[in-house]
Structure 1
């Protein structure tokens, strides 16, 4: 990776939006995904498991697939040359967990992804407003909000 190349860890919501054509943010996510030359993106165990779990849920999409089918779809995306795998970290190596800003159970996965991105020198791309705010409060410059202007 060169000094001019930024890599993005895709939050689950971005990964879903990019890959599922009927997702409400599909066009927005695809436009963002293509906007930067030599886009380099990353996934990790947490985001991949979230993708498989939600892609196989009829509560997420009427077009839900089986977990093996979702894993196969994800595997095809991850075989792209612009994808990198991000290894997990032990909890004690994620500094955001020591932050007083982290106050609720719904922030736990977001905080982990934020810490993982920061540790590996990545930006965390998200459509989640709460995650955007958590990033501003704990790791400025780490989160990239790709949602429509609010």
Structure 2
């Protein structure tokens, strides 16, 4: 079964200073060959968080974060799942459930 990685799980193995780096590395070592996926949203989240100095103690530029992401997604088992559902359609059921970063 292919695992769709949530943004934080995608970030953790790429950043040695991330609190869950070791756990994410173990997961990738053990399970990534079973298949893992990213979407435009998870990939954009990786770049956004990786290049945000207020979130990452040691941040990078978006260009470097994109290069890191390209290296990660070239690993065995990766699949890209395109997103063709607009946010206004996907959140139409319960818009009050959508919240901000706080």
Q: TM-score, normalised by structure 1?
A: 0.58
What 5-or-longer segments of structure 1 have no aligned partner?
1-5, 108-150
State the distance in 2 between where 1:38 and 1:10 align.
Answer: 14
CA RMSD of aligned residues (A): 2.0
Q: Which residue of 2 aligns with 1:72?
A: 67
Q: Is the 8 A contact 1:56 1:65 kept in 2?
A: yes
Distance 2:70 2:32 in 1: 23
Q: 1:36 to 1:76 in 2, by over 3 A?
A: closer
Query: Is 1:103 aligned with 2:96?
Result: yes
Residues 1:14 and 2:9 are matched in the alignment: yes
**1:9 Cα shift?**
1.0
The 10-residue stretch of structure 1 (10-19 or 24-33) with the greater mean CA deviation from structure 2? 24-33
> TM-score under structure 2 normalisation?
0.82
Q: Give aligned pairs, total.
A: 98
Hey, which bits of structure 1, 4+ residues long, moved more than 4 A? none
